[in-house]
Amino acid sequence: MSPLPEIPSAVRRVAMISVHTSPLEQPGTGDAGGMNVYVLETARRLGERGVEVEIFTRRTSAASAEVVPVAPGVLVRHIDAGPYEGLSKDDLPGQLCAFAAGVMRLVAISPEGHYDLVHSHYWLSGQVGWLAADRWNVPLVHTMHTMAKVKNRSLAQGDRPEPAGREIGEEQVVRAASLLVANTEIEARELVELYDADPARVRVVPPGVDLVTFAPGDQQAAREALELPQDAELVLFVGRIQALKGPDVLLRAAAEMVRRDPERRRRLIVAVIGGPSGSGLEKPRALQALARELGIADIVQFVPPVPRQELAQWFRASDAVAVPSRSESFGLVALEAQACGATVVAADVGGLPRAVGSAGVLVQGHDPAVWAERLLAVLDSTPDERKALVDRAVEHAQRYGWERTTDELLAVYERACRDARTDVADDAGSGRLLELPLAEAVIP
């Protein structure tokens, strides 16, 4: 995974594919999460660099305009593929043909060479991106975000595994992509070991954080703005509510905390910010039921997903942010929390060690008793210890601005385009007949 050399700019226009979730959706519920943030933030910054970005996503509402400008040089294009509502992510493989046809039809009026590159996000988009890149004769860059084989190794009890069809689809995309973007070195190794990816075609580009929105601030002022008690001990969970993200681990840990110290109940608040997603949609009130069963319903607040500015206030108001995921490709929430000066207590899985670094607390396993112990250690830390944690968190997050991510992503794009030009030149020089895609061979 060697660093990419600097090369002359060759990228003017990029087609991003995000089939199952729109970057315009509010993260934290349904299928909207860190990937939405990633797509939107990188597209915006690419636009600032003079690279035009068109994001293709499935229309989920009749009210959605066909084209939505979201920033200078950045458009979101909605594609009709199946009914607007009522389709889960599991239903979408059956709509990939319709989605791809919509993209091809829309782009058919554009001149040849309109796009320099396709960047697909998640395996469903990779299937469409594979076809689009082949049809337009441009490189395909793909980011997995999550992988079925990795998720299936870390299932929560009672959670259903990802289907074999997804694993096969991911393997196909890995083979088809010109370059693969991994969030962390761990993810890069998983691509090689689990999917037989060519190491020479894998590049590590860590996600970033909006350091303007997510910045340190006064805890008391944040609590006043959120109408929270100043003397509260506030522990947050932020994310989609599903077994994979482990919110149940935090609730069980909170029950253990008040069992050990009943007086703590008076001031402890556990705030769960997010909405049901994935398997959590089958029992959308299961977490509330668990809080009642554990006898802590009085200290748990369930908050629907909030805008990013308000989310930053929650992070500033917190004493600890728990990220007890069972699998996590990176863990953007951890980085956003640290950028606000929050102390993150996270599971030692996937990309979280990279996201958290040495600035937070990593927990082995998901034993609620162990999590209670680690959280209590943070809550009971001295003012000097707390300040040191805050300073380390902010310093760590400052290394991960979206500008850095965009720099490295652009280098990947440039490399993919340069390699494509080299391949064409080699084929032409060798005298080999260049094979056209089937569609170009039969359509005048």
Q: What are the binding residues?
A: 20, 26-27, 31-36, 89, 122, 146, 166, 240, 245, 306, 315-316, 318, 328, 336
Phi, psi of 237 (to 5 degrees): -120, 130
Binding residues for Mg(2+): 315-316, 318
Cβ atoms of residues 405 and 207 within 8 Å: yes
Look at residues 39, 76, 36, 38 and name the one whose alpha carbon lies nearest to residue 54: 76
Q: Please list, residue by residue across 220-239, b when 16 or more beta carbons sit within 10 angstroms of its beta carbon and e when fewer do.
A: eebbeebebeeebbbbbbbb
Q: Which residues are annotated as a binding site for 1D-myo-inositol 3-phosphate?
A: 20, 31-36, 89, 122, 146, 166
Backbone angles phi, psi at 348, to 5 degrees: -85, 70
Spatial CA neighbour of 74 closest among 36, 116, 43, 39: 43
Environment class of 277 (CB within 10 Å of its CB; exposed 0-12, middle 13-18, buried 19+): buried
| The pairing of beta strand 67-71 with beta strand 74-79 | antiparallel
Q: In what order do the strands lie in the sheet with 361-363?
A: 300-303, 268-273, 233-238, 320-323, 344-347, 361-363
Q: For helices 308-317 and 332-339, give the axis angle rounded to 10 degrees.
A: 70
Strand (E) or helix (H) holding 214 = none
Of 150, 121, 165, which Cα lies nearest the Cα of 328? Answer: 150
Helix (H) or strand (E) holding 248: helix 247-260
Q: In whole angstroms, what is the distance from residue 198 CA to residue 187 CA?
A: 13
**Residue 87 phi, psi dihedral angles, 5° rounding:** -100, 130
Residue type (1 letter), 58: R
| Angstrom distances, CA of residue 62 to CA of 58, 59, 247 | 11, 8, 33
Annotated binding site for UDP-N-acetyl-alpha-D-glucosamine: 26-27, 34, 240, 245, 306, 328, 336
Radius of gyration over every alpha carbon of the chain, rounded to an integer in angstroms: 23
What would the DSSP string read from start to end of 429-440? Answer: HHTPPPPPPHHH
